[in-house]
Structure 1
Amino acid sequence: MSQTTLTISSKTYSSWSMRGWLLARFAKLPFDEVVIALDDPAMRAEILLLAPSMLVPCLQHGKIKVWDTLAIGEYLNEIKPKAGLLPSDGAARAHCRAICGEMHSGFGALRAALPMNLKGHFPGFKIWARAQADIDRITAIWESCLDTYGGPYLFGSHRTAAEAMYAPVVTRFMTYDVPLSPACTAYCETVMALPEVQEWVDAAKLEPEEVDLLDMEF
């Protein structure tokens, strides 16, 4: 096994695993995957938003161990600065950190009401008012960034850590047929077309059906 590993859980249901994995792939850091089975009680609790702390993703790089998605992103930016996980311009870099942090710590209603499920499709899904408020804030972030930096990514012509942080939201919007503006729809299509995102989605489709409880409507 490589000296670099990334511990993740389900590619179908675990949004934090997807974020950490995309960050490492965007940084072009070779790594081996260590997958924690969905029948592990701690993993089920985490995916169902019941765990007291996040267990995945966790990056082991030589003797250095980094967990928490934001910390992984910052570490990868330090060791792979040319990968462009953060914008080169100082103001844009601060802006990118801010919206990544907002994704990391907020939008609890969206997470609970629209759980990530890459195998599901729920047209006509009823969205709670609090979840809609989160959706409105996210789309306002996207539209502001696209207008400020010119797209097609949130910070211009190059994908950054922001795409890794918001990619699971893109999948949620598709799973639940969330109505979006033309600009946000185009952004979702851009994110879904990323080779790394396609690789993740393709792998998710090959996972066995194991977590029936995650099909419930929160």
Structure 2
Amino acid sequence: MKNRIQKAQVIFLFSTIIFTGFLTSPVIAGLEGPVVDAISYYNQAVDAASEGSIDEALILINKSLEIQPDFYLAQVTKASLYSQTGRHSQAEIILNEAEKTHPDNVYVLTAKASLYLETGQYKKAIEVAENALAIDPSLIETWIIKGTAHGGLGQYGEELNASSQALLIDPKNKDALSNYEFAQKGLMLNQSNSNPMKAEKSSLSLSVLFAGVLSAVALQVLFRK
């Protein structure tokens, strides 16, 4: 499971951040003033991060947040940048701040659930994911995170249920299918052994999270009051 999360971290941000930048760019049209500047700095940060310049990306993200402190897309992205460099405590602080200004924001909650999953805090990941799903049960990324966390705890029945919910939303989703198959194998192993066992889980790409979370946020109103 540890290797699975470590491999996921490599592409956790970079496979999706360019796509997110493209989505947010059209939002600038028709806007003026500080909002445009905040988005501009954000998009520059996206470019820097996609080129592997994490430090530069953080500088630009901070400039964006100086202009618009409650820009939760930038907050979530900053947290993910910190996560990439192992600064998980700082990432959690940022997401907690984002949650204060954007209570019940499902994208912030899902980002927190992902962070807890990355750091092996599976029970917390499940709790936060369930909070997000209680608000919006259509978030396939959150179902996948919830399922993955259950799998990390050896709770294969719960992982199977969460994966089934994800597959109802997207029957061809590779990560949901991977979780579903893994949960089935785990249940079979437990049935064939008197003592519960944890199955070996192959690497699962968590790129689905920020592909879903960040792109969805980009299509929403960027600044939620």
Q: Same fold (TM over 0.5)?
A: no
TM-score normalised by length of structure 1: 0.35
Q: Which has the larger radius of gyration?
A: 2
TM-score normalised by length of structure 2: 0.34
Q: Greater strand percent: which structure? A: 1
